[in-house]
Structure 1
Amino acid sequence: MQLTQHARLSVAPMMDWTDRHCRFFHRLLSRHTLLYTEMVTAPALVRGGALHLLRHDPAEQPVALQLGGSDADELAQAAALGWQAGYREINLNCGCPSDRVQSGSFGAVLMEHPALVGDICAAMIAASPAEVTVKCRIGVDAQVPEEILPAFLETLSQAGVRRVIIHARKAWLQGLSPKDNREIPPLDYPLVLAMKAAFPQMHISINGGVTSLAQAAGLLDEGLDGVMIGRAAYQRPADLLQDADRIVFGDMSGGRDPFEAVQAMRPYILRELSEGVRLASITRHMLGLFAGKPGARVWRRILSENAHRAGAGTEVLDMALDAVNAAAVPEPQQQS
């Protein structure tokens, strides 16, 4: 399956969330969904030599590397390093509104400098065989999305970019926190659909406000090429990923249920523990596995209270699973 096919459904890059442990876990729930790293800054790789940030398990594939930065030469070098590390897609962050990226003049700030973005993308494309993609907003601050977005996409297209993920909200660089930027600016799905009609040659995915597979399938039916899901996929991973292969990709073999996913994580957890990783670093990404199901609260509580303890191992998972199973068994009714 080509990357463009995997991109029918993807899990968004999310800082502090979609690390390598999270991605390994998500891959156990869906074989086909495209996964993304947390944003890695080009300066960290090129100037800081932090190549450990590129570490990933081959089992995570298909997985894309998201880069942040604003220097074309540096991003080109970082893209080449990503390709060498095994990533076949390199995504440029043009959508993050955090103070950190604003101070570095990248992320959503780049939407104010489309010519620079075009130069960056052209340099990245020339630097390696990896597919270069862009994740952006519909505009920032006082920009008029209906004017800025088509011009921005035209610049990307001329630079050689063929796949774009559009977060269907504006980013307000002044006055809103990153959290508020994910929730307060109104969604504009019709504009993203209009961009697909205006740029039929581009693969356009939509991001923002998608909370179910049914909603994702509906957006695909409307003509979009892909749907990217963020917080819902992290907070309710089984709900969003367990049936993704069947519903989105037509693979009727089915995904793992939550209990099977926990068992499949055991060898990975044991390996990582042997290398000095703390259990909580892995299980924190699994807290929402039983969300909406009997035992969800006790599962979260047991992992939260015990996984961080020194020497904690898979016995914590056993204890949590036993509690989930107990919660799922109805209590016997007493005779009157």
Structure 2
Amino acid sequence: MMDWTDRHQRYFLRLISQHCLLYTEMVTTGALIHGDRERFLRFNAEEHPVAIQLGGSDPADLALCARYAEEHGYDEVNLNVGCPSDRVQNGRIGACLMAEPKTVADCIKAMQDRVSIPVTVKHRIGINGRESFEELTDFVGTLADTGCSTFIVHARIAILEGLSPKQNREIPPLKYDWVYRLKTLFPQLEIIINGGITSLEQCQQHLEAVDGVMVGREAYHHPYLLAGVDRLFYGSSTTAPSRHQVIELMTPYIEQQLANGVALQHITRHILGLFHLQPGAKRFRRHLSENAWKAGAGLETLMEAVSLCPEGSG
């Protein structure tokens, strides 16, 4: 389980491929080189397999940070070429690099030369001013020439001026067919689709055309969605824990973090959607939102919120 207070990150799950893989939200090379490296790189053994997503555009810095990640036990390094925020663009990080395929290829190659773990890339299908399918295939082909074989593709362009990051996740239209066409053109590559996916049924549909599915916002806001993954995609006969059992399993971790001085709100804000669509879900969320931030709030505050959801609700 994540130490959310230290990390302040959401995680993305590459749900279906050869296995499930957890991805950190982007960490910049500057943060790792000049900041508290141990804080940014720390994770718990239960999270394996886990990948770190790096943001940067300097090949030497990225290679160094990839090495740090490998030394800390990460299973994969992923380069972010999809974030559209102004702050990130100002540092030549994220989606703006789609205009520089050669730079991205140099970065990928530098990391590959420094580590033995896989180096992958997450990107958009384009950016404003570079919006054609031909430009997308040129981008993917240039990176594939380095030996990079895994591409996580957010099926929207990024509009670099005039839209906020939130708007960039919602306004540009999804073009899933472009990602399908990439797989047809590059059958040797592992193509993983991302963007606007909200159900396991949608995952099943996408898997008819691509190798994997990445779920981000939905897995974060409604985490119990993942309870059906093992049964549906891996043939598991084991019954998934109920929502109440999930809380029980989290209890030792929560107690440990509280003892270390972590505020309850920094943990519970990431499970507010656990009882989504279940009886009592709104009361659960409201109770935590109103009380978990208070001085002295402890495990009893969480249990009070859980008690508002009938045991049979999940």
**Which interval holds the TM-score relative to the shorter structure?**
over 0.9
Paired with 1:294 and 1:80, the residues of 2 have a C-alpha distance of: 47
Paired with 2:311 and 2:120, the residues of 1 have a C-alpha distance of: 46
Equivalent positions of 1:218-297 (< 5 A) are: 218-220=205-207, 222-238=208-224, 240-297=225-282
Q: Aligned pair 1:38/2:29, yes or no?
A: no
- Is this contact kept in 1: 2:192–2:212, CA < 8 A? yes
Equivalent AA in structure 2 for residue 80 of structure 1: R
Could you tell me which residue of structure 2 aligns to residue 203 of structure 1?
190
SS at match of 1:281: helix
Could you tell me which residue of structure 2 aligns to residue 331 of structure 1?
none
Equivalent positions of 1:60-79 (< 5 A) are: 60-79=47-66
Could you tell me which residue of structure 2 aligns to residue 118 of structure 1?
105
- Is this contact kept in 2: 1:33–1:245, CA < 8 A? no
Could you tell me which residue of structure 2 aligns to residue 217 of structure 1?
204
Q: Which has the higher contact order (CA 8 A, sep 6+)?
A: 1
Distance of aligned partners of 1:169 and 1:260 in 2 relative to their CA distance in 1, 3 Å threshold: same
Q: Aligned pair 1:304/2:296, yes or no?
A: no
Equivalent AA in structure 1 for residue 142 of structure 2: T
Equivalent AA in structure 1 for residue 256 of structure 2: R
Could you tell me which residue of structure 2 aligns to residue 148 of structure 1?
135
Offset at 1:40?
A: 0.5
RMSD: 1.7
Equivalent AA in structure 1 for residue 216 of structure 2: G
- Is this contact kept in 1: 2:150–2:191, CA < 8 A? yes
- Is this contact kept in 1: 2:154–2:194, CA < 8 A? yes
- Is this contact kept in 2: 1:245–1:254, CA < 8 A? no
Paired with 2:132 and 2:165, the residues of 1 have a C-alpha distance of: 19
Aligned residues: 302
Paired with 1:192 and 1:252, the residues of 2 have a C-alpha distance of: 32
Spell out, residue by residue over 1:77-103, the C-alpha distance to the aligned partner (whole angstroms, 9 max, x if none): 000000111101000000000111111
Could you tell me which residue of structure 1 aligns to residue 148 of structure 2?
161
SS at match of 1:144: coil
Equivalent of residue 106 in structure 1, options 93, 99, 109 = 93
Could you tell me which residue of structure 1 aligns to residue 177 of structure 2?
190
Paired with 2:118 and 2:28, the residues of 1 have a C-alpha distance of: 18
Q: Aligned pair 1:171/2:171, yes or no?
A: no
Distance of aligned partners of 1:208 and 1:132 in 2 relative to their CA distance in 1, 3 Å threshold: same
The unaligned stretches of length 5 or more in structure 1 are 1-14, 27-31, 329-336
- Is this contact kept in 1: 2:9–2:24, CA < 8 A? no
- Is this contact kept in 1: 2:128–2:158, CA < 8 A? yes
SS at match of 1:248: helix
- Is this contact kept in 2: 1:17–1:285, CA < 8 A? no
Equivalent AA in structure 1 for residue 149 of structure 2: R
The unaligned stretches of length 5 or more in structure 2 are 1-6, 14-18
Spell out, residue by residue over 1:61-90, the C-alpha distance to the aligned partner (whole angstroms, 9 max, x if none): 121100000100000000000011110100
Equivalent AA in structure 2 for residue 180 of structure 1: Q
Spell out, residue by residue over 1:103-142, the C-alpha distance to the aligned partner (whole angstroms, 9 max, x if none): 1011001100000100000000111111101000000012
Offset at 1:148?
A: 1.2
- Is this contact kept in 2: 1:295–1:327, CA < 8 A? no
- Is this contact kept in 1: 2:54–2:77, CA < 8 A? yes
SS at match of 1:246: helix
- Is this contact kept in 2: 1:95–1:171, CA < 8 A? yes
